[in-house]
Amino acid sequence: MTAPTRSGQLIPFALILFAGVLIGSFTLRLATPPPPEPPRFVSITEAGAADESPAVSPDGRWLVWFSEFGGALGVWKRPLAGGQRSPIATGAVGLPRFTADARAVLVTASDSTSTSVYRIALADGRSTRVLSDALDADPSLDGRWLAYLRRESRGDAIEWVLAIADSAGRGEKIVHREHGRGLRGPRWSPDAKRLAVSVRARPDSSGAILLLVVGEVARPLTLPLTKGSPSVGAWLDSKRFVYAISTAATATWPYAGSSIRVHHVKRDRSYEALWLPIAIDQVETTPDGRLILGSAGNQVEVPNLWLVDRVPGVRTAP
């Protein structure tokens, strides 16, 4: 019997090694998860309506919003899962926000002389004034506090004030003053430890989003370079805040749009979760981690609301 040569020993070994590489590559391909599917968008604006300022109840069951529908202005409600809309208040009212128990909605109402915040009971429609000379109130999720805005005249200038009070509108405390630039959309974090508020841009200064811990100095988020105003934002949870910022057309991408961004408060970092070729003016979140985006109206299109089934890059509890 002839002894095997060195080359005869190497050939089977090389075949085994090659087969192992093929099997390993195939196994790795099977183990590698496919790229995530893009989120799904569903329009929740009815034909002929112009919708804005969405708010979701703390239990995730109801949606309220301001709408121009059928020639009438007002605040409406409907089940978030779908169904018929019904009016809550009509006329010069807007900026609705649910109370913590979801039994009432706070709205801002204006007349020829003043702007006030009212609580409207959903059971019987009874209206009670909570705050005078105030607007855009947001209740904390624990039901203890209200955050709201006020405009004050300082000679020829307007100063915007962010204030808090108890749930009955008593014991006001001013937490921030903004000179020259308008404020909008104060939002409590779910743990009621932080406030976020959007600052409008001016021709000589860009917009901003301020994060505040009550009793401390406001800290602005680092936003992408832009001259636009950030949208009204919303908290995904007590650590993450989501908002939109306008993006201008460039030589490489000749389309204006909006960058939907998630900011992690404790890490002080942001990332772009979505880019959309439309102007987003409002962001709202649902308790199960979905988004409602409100597009800004223009000369061609009316404001619309979109339901997005998830936020890319954010894990939500099952």
Least Cα distance to 147 among 127, 121, 173, 122 occurs for 173
Burial class, 249, CB count within 10 angstroms (exposed 0-12 / middle 13-18 / buried 19+): exposed
String of DSSP letters for 242-267 = EEEEEE---SSS---EEEEEEEETTT
Asked if residue 246 has pLDDT above 90, the reply is: no
pLDDT tens for residues 94-151? 999 999 999 999 999 988 788 999 999 999 999 999 999 999 999 999 999 999 999 9
Per-residue model confidence (pLDDT) at position 65: 96
pLDDT tens for residues 66-85? 998 888 899 999 999 999 99
Q: Taking the domains of the chain in order of start, what are their residue ranges?
A: 223-318
Asked if residue 317 has pLDDT above 60, the reply is: no
Asked if residue 28 has pLDDT above 60, the reply is: no
Least Cα distance to 183 among 164, 158, 213 occurs for 158
**pLDDT exceeding 90 applies to what percent of the chain?**
53
In the chain, alpha helices (H): 6-31
Per-residue model confidence (pLDDT) at position 268: 87
Are 100 and 83 in contact by the 8 Å Cβ rule? The answer is no
User: Cα separation of 149 and 151, whole Å?
Assistant: 7
String of DSSP letters for 125-158 = --EEEEESS-EEEEE-TTSSEEEEEEEEEETTEE
Are 294 and 280 in contact by the 8 Å Cβ rule? The answer is yes
Mention every residue, 6+ apart, whose C-beta is less than 8 A from residue 229. Answer: 198, 199, 200, 201, 207, 246
pLDDT tens for residues 166-201? 999 999 999 999 988 899 999 999 999 999 999 988
Mean pLDDT of 26-40: 61
* Tokens linked to 256: 């204006």
Asked if residue 92 has pLDDT above 90, the reply is: no
* Tokens linked to 215: 């009793």
User: Cα separation of 306 and 296, whole Å?
Assistant: 12
Asked if residue 158 has pLDDT above 80, the reply is: yes
Across the chain, what does the average pLDDT equal? Answer: 84
Q: How far is CA 172 from CA 38, 70, 100, 219, in A?
A: 44, 39, 19, 22
Please tell me the pTM assigned to this model. Answer: 0.83
Residue where the block lists tokens 């183990």: 31
Longest dimension (CA), the chain: 112
Confidence of residue 222 (pLDDT cuts 50, 70, 90): low
User: CA angle 57-192-151, nearest 5°?
Assistant: 85
pLDDT tens for residues 251-286? 776 677 899 999 999 888 889 999 998 889 999 999
The answer to which of 32-36, 106-110, 213-217 has the lowest mean pLDDT is: 32-36
Residue 137: phi and psi, rounded to 5, are: -85, 140
* Tokens linked to 290: 């979905």
Per-residue model confidence (pLDDT) at position 205: 72
Are 134 and 110 in contact by the 8 Å Cβ rule? The answer is no
User: Cα separation of 257 and 198, whole Å?
Assistant: 18
Asked if residue 37 has pLDDT above 80, the reply is: no
